[in-house]
């Protein structure tokens, strides 16, 4: 997915001279085309993410669009104060892009895992929080990110994520996408883990259960109308996020249901308020911590009962 993002950004930057990339000594193998095409709009600040964010804010305050770019939690948790006080307080055009959210960098341990980011970023005023599920969404989200006036947090996948959608999509911030229709239960995912929810729906179908699958690519602003529609027209909701159970997608969906006064069987799948103290491949960690399609299907079936 990162390749799709970088290629799309390069194409947009050819037409929009406001776009600048600011990064902290990372991204090699992907960012060279941008650096070569626009050396005057490419800044590498070194291993100094706080400075990266401050420089990006200054660039944006001069009427430009600045993209900060790094892996996992480095553009977010390491420079949260600068994002809050500089970017969001001034509501400037800084787009914060991370590569490999959730457990994607599993072999490098918790320091390289981004599992609190959705909750933290969506708590910041004026911040849009988006996590594309596949390549099609990633490309559309890049265009939407540049068109949006104000801060955006873009949680980009790492490598070869499988396709969730077939054909074109109608992508808008704040509007979820139905990847599969169903009436018995709804599986709502955000980011690349949404494909596991789709696989779970296929497993449920073999058991006579028709599950609706929703890609909630925008966690903030979230699609309240779609959530309420799922609550009223299916038998329950299961949220799936590669993130802590607190404050992310599941929390946002629960807030919508509670404020709307809608009562429905509901379950959140995510990390259970714990750090990942073991290391391993991405796929292995997903299975270990309950993100397998089989476990998602089992949880959904249990909720219906």
CATH of the domain at 296: 3.40.50.920
Q: Which two tokens stand for residue 267?
A: 């379950």
Q: Are residues 30 and 143 in the same domain?
A: yes
Q: Which residues contact 80 (CB under 8 A, 6 or more apart)?
A: 120
Q: Please report how many Cα atoms fall inside a 13 Å half-sphere around the Cα of residue 122, on the Cβ side.
A: 22
Q: Are residues 187 and 266 in the same domain?
A: yes
pLDDT of residue 202: 98
Is 99 inside any structural domain?
A: yes
Q: Are residues 209 and 282 in the same domain?
A: yes
Q: Are 156 and 97 in contact, with CB atoms under 8 Å apart?
A: yes
Distances (CA, A) of 63 to 20, 33, 57, 90, 91: 11, 24, 10, 13, 12
Last residue of a domain, one of 107, 122, 156: 156
Which of 1, 68, 6 lies closest to 31, judged by CA?
6
Is 140 inside any structural domain?
A: yes
Q: Which residue segment(s) compose the domain that 119 sits in? A: 2-156
Q: Are residues 102 and 152 in the same domain?
A: yes
Q: Are residues 141 and 11 in the same domain?
A: yes
Q: Are residues 122 and 223 in the same domain?
A: no
pLDDT of residue 36: 96
Is 164 inside any structural domain?
A: no
Q: Are residues 213 and 102 in the same domain?
A: no
Is 187 inside any structural domain?
A: yes
Q: Are 112 and 26 in contact, with CB atoms under 8 Å apart?
A: no
Q: Are residues 269 and 228 in the same domain?
A: yes
Q: How far separated are the first and last CA of the chain, in Å rounded?
A: 37
Is 22 inside any structural domain?
A: yes
Is 166 inside any structural domain?
A: no
Place of tokens 């696989």: 199
Q: Are residues 151 and 182 in the same domain?
A: no
CATH number at residue 27: 3.40.50.970
The domain total for the chain is 2
pLDDT of residue 28: 84
pLDDT of residue 26: 86
Is 167 inside any structural domain?
A: no
Last residue of a domain, one of 126, 156, 186: 156
Is 163 inside any structural domain?
A: no
Q: Are 10 and 33 in contact, with CB atoms under 8 Å apart?
A: yes
Per-residue pLDDT of the chain (305 residues; tens, 9 = 90+): 999 999 999 999 999 999 999 999 887 888 999 999 999 999 999 999 999 999 999 999 999 999 999 998 999 999 999 999 999 999 999 999 999 999 999 999 999 999 999 999 999 999 999 999 999 999 999 999 999 999 999 999 987 889 999 888 999 999 999 999 999 999 999 999 999 999 999 999 999 999 999 999 999 999 999 999 999 999 999 999 999 999 999 999 999 999 999 999 999 999 999 999 999 999 999 999 999 999 999 999 999 97
Q: Are residues 19 and 144 in the same domain?
A: yes
Q: Are residues 120 and 197 in the same domain?
A: no
Q: Are residues 125 and 267 in the same domain?
A: no
């Amino acid at each position: 997915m990162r390749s799709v993002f970088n290629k799309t950004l390069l194409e947009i930057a050819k037409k929009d001279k406001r776009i600048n990339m600011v990064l902290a000594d990372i991204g090699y193998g992907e960012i060279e085309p941008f650096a070569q095409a626009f050396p005057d709009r490419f800044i590498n600040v070194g291993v100094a993410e706080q400075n990266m964010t401050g420089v990006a804010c200054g660039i944006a305050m001069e009427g430009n669009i600045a993209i900060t770019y790094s892996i996992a939690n480095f553009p977010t948790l390491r420079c949260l104060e600068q994002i809050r006080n500089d970017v969001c307080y001034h509501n400037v055009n800084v787009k914060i892009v991370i590569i490999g959210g959730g457990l994607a960098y599993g072999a490098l341990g918790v320091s390289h895992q981004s599992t609190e980011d959705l909750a933290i970023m969506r708590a910041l005023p004026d911040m849009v929080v988006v996590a594309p599920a596949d390549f099609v969404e990633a490309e559309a989200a890049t265009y939407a990110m540049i068109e949006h006036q104000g801060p955006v947090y873009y949680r980009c996948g790492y490598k070869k994520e499988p396709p969730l959608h077939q054909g074109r999509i109608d992508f808008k911030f704040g509007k979820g996408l139905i990847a599969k229709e169903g009436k018995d239960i709804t599986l709502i995912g955000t980011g690349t883990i949404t494909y596991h929810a789709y696989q779970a729906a296929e497993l449920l179908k073999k058991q006579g259960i028709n599950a609706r699958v929703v890609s909630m690519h925008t966690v903030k602003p979230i699609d309240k109308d779609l959530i309420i529609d799922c609550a009223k027209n299916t038998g329950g909701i299961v949220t799936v996020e590669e993130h802590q159970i607190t404050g992310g997608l599941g929390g946002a969906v629960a807030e919508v249901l509670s404020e709307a006064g809608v009562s429905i069987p509901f379950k959140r799948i995510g990390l259970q308020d714990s750090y990942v103290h073991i290391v391993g491949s991405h796929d292995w960690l997903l299975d270990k911590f309950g993100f397998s399609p089989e476990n998602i299907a089992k949880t959904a079936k249990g909720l219906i009962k």
